[in-house]
Amino acid sequence: MILTVTLNTALDVTYRVPRLLPHASHRVSAVAERPGGKGINVARVLGALGHEVTATGFAGGPAGELVRELLAQRSPEVVDALVPCAGGTRRTLAVVDETSGDTTQFNEPGPLITPAEWAQFLARYEALLAGADAVALCGSLPPGVPVGAYAALVRAARAAGVPVLLDTSGEALRRGVAARPEMIKPNAAELAELTGSREPLPATRDARRRGAHAVVTSLGPAGLLAATPEGTWQAAPPRALSGNPTGAGDSAVAGLLSALAEGLDWPDRLTRAVALSAATVLAPAAGEFDPRTYDEVRLAVSVTDESGAEHPSAQG
């Protein structure tokens, strides 16, 4: 079983408008709602890939109830182990401009988590670790959760012998890296904030020295850069992609985690992650992925090592 943790779950709402203009009134052409938050997104992709997956974190209020209902309806393969909280689950709003294909995102703050709710979550998390093959710790921390929360969760997983992928930012990432997770997956801005360097390769290696066993950096349309004990690789999609990037990074995390659980090597892990990310960008609804697009892109992903030599992928 793969366990995903989303401390700040969300109800993701996507509006589509013919054209997004400042200071104007807009007629929405389509609305979509889905369970969200980074770890929930990861769990849904893992389930679609055929993995046994359990999602935990917090859910509360009407939005939290709808998150759980939609998760059960649309991703019945994902086991719901979310912990109730008194505060209301946040909503995120993505507005898609159908003319340009660009997306504008609005994110609400999360609910205030009480010390008692945090203690209840920790007990649930430690119990779930007993049956987990890998863990993804994803997203922001809601108010009330200690800033060192991810570091504590990484240490608990390591004590249980369960590899951890950490995907967060800011001080939560800084402290979490020091707890020595198996892998982190920052984007370029998060990596620069962590290391102080805007040069992706040196910064990725620096992040490894700070404690992460492996670092996979998202370079946006340029794909992924990975610094690992086995070497350094860059994986790129076959072409520039235009679409809705919401959830693309989470799909990449699902690809990396599923490939880790299956024992694939790094070129194959990166191929899967890039292909899933690309298929999510091109999907009509935020955070979804088209299996046919995934298969097409997977066959054309380019993976090169530090010398520039291309590595064939068994995934292709």
Catalytic residues: 250
CB 236 within 8 A of CB 302: yes
Provide the 8-state DSSP code for 275: H
- Of the chain, the end-to-end C-alpha distance in Å amounts to 26
Helix (H, G, I), strand (E, B) or coil at 191: helix
Task: Count CB-CB contacts under 10 A for residue 82.
Answer: 24
Longest dimension (CA), the chain: 54
**DSSP states along 218-262:** E-GGG-EEEEETTEEEEEE-SS---S--TTHHHHHHHHHHHHHHT
Q: Give the gyration radius of the chain's Cα atoms.
A: 19
